[in-house]
Structure 1
């Protein structure tokens, strides 16, 4: 039985195979370890990291059996896939988003307030620095963005070496991203498709143009595009014409804004905000001095019990005995 579905859609055999295939690829990449790496990943090493060499402390594998609650940075009701979570699994997707945005710095607030055609936030996060981009790519980006009627706030690390001085572009080394995305004049978020940035943009109902670079970014961008919240252009395939066309498509076609705004309403519609949820359940565990009653029984089972290998073993034994008995009867017909 297929237990995972993506946002209410049926799962095909191809999508069913993706999780195990992805997990297998991950293992292929990471399993080959030398002796030193194996030591670093051992339970003994983890115990030393946690509390030194205190022999009175419990073993690491015993600590994992004493977990009362797990917070997950997800919200399956809106994001999918729908799955049967245990009571001790608490979803807090969007925890980094403020319940009420902080006031913006005066220069940014004035710039956005005076953006009569709307504004664009452009940030490639903290890992992709301005110096990592080729001069050709930067020049192409600047040429496209400076030709827009919208204002642009561009996160740029080297303020002494900005790409140009267009009146519609503000460069800044640091930006309060969540607070800017909350501004009503923001019409588009150009992002590297980090998980945090996509969550913030979805929360505030802002369409996106993703420029993924590495790690989980291409996958995050693909999911975002599949949901209809914007378009994507991998940085390694960057071309000025594609950048301009996809930028204008997201800006001019209202379907992207409508889709992400619909999602935003669903994402926000919860009994408690993500931060209130964390507070409630943390205090719940403290009030009851732990919450073992929320644990799954499988936590305290052995590998054999958890995977029903003992049950399968009994059935297999019965099957083998029956086959042998039938063979015996065939060999002794009289």
Structure 2
């Protein structure tokens, strides 16, 4: 029987890395093929590889994965009211995946993702201005002093819109933007978001200052394309489909809550889990891993285990020899450790 192990711990160099199988679909970082997505909003192109990882390479099977009625209702409420959707739930409950699923079904193009960390500020989501880069270029131009030198670059060459700023660009259809793990931010960011969420616009002071001599400036977007900003102001014509996710680790100010549609995402049930496994690993994985799915569903109430832990266990145990039941069980136990267990 073929040994499934690549690393053997023997300390002897070998070429076993050549036997390493293809990665799990949700960990495949192969560059997506270029080309426009059908129905993608203005200015977007390319296949959303992040969505392919989250929804499964067999994304047609997502059609069989029906979300709960309250999830569908909350998404539609956010779409109709042009309000952000604040999704709360345990890690791995599918909060981020919801944004990709909606964008995929409604053909909203690539999901603009803004991952929040403790140092994130509102400007990180709206735009970045490379003042140092511009200063260096000006100094180099002055140092060259050559006659007939090229004209200085436009200030727009040093401005790049962030995920939220790109989502607020005028477009005929809404963009999908994911503000991921908002509860990781500092205390100020939720309040700083209020005006942008309410008005659907923001200004770029660096462009406003030069608007009298350069009213229309081309800047880079989060999509990697260029767009024109007039008089330093960005204002949406269609409010984006915005998903704010939270692991429930903190409370948000009432001013933010009243501007959002709130959704508490429950852990996936049996029907959702089976559909998720089939979408990522195929029908055989759902059949062969039935015992692990039952183990996942039969955990004690309150124990937190993420769905991607189950997917990891199913993928890896597929490659362990079926005869080594002890090894298979040990791998599953290692990969499906409760996330809330004290260490």
TM-score tier by shorter-chain length is: under 0.3
Q: Which has the larger radius of gyration?
A: 1
Higher helix share: 1
| TM-score normalised by L of structure 2 | 0.25
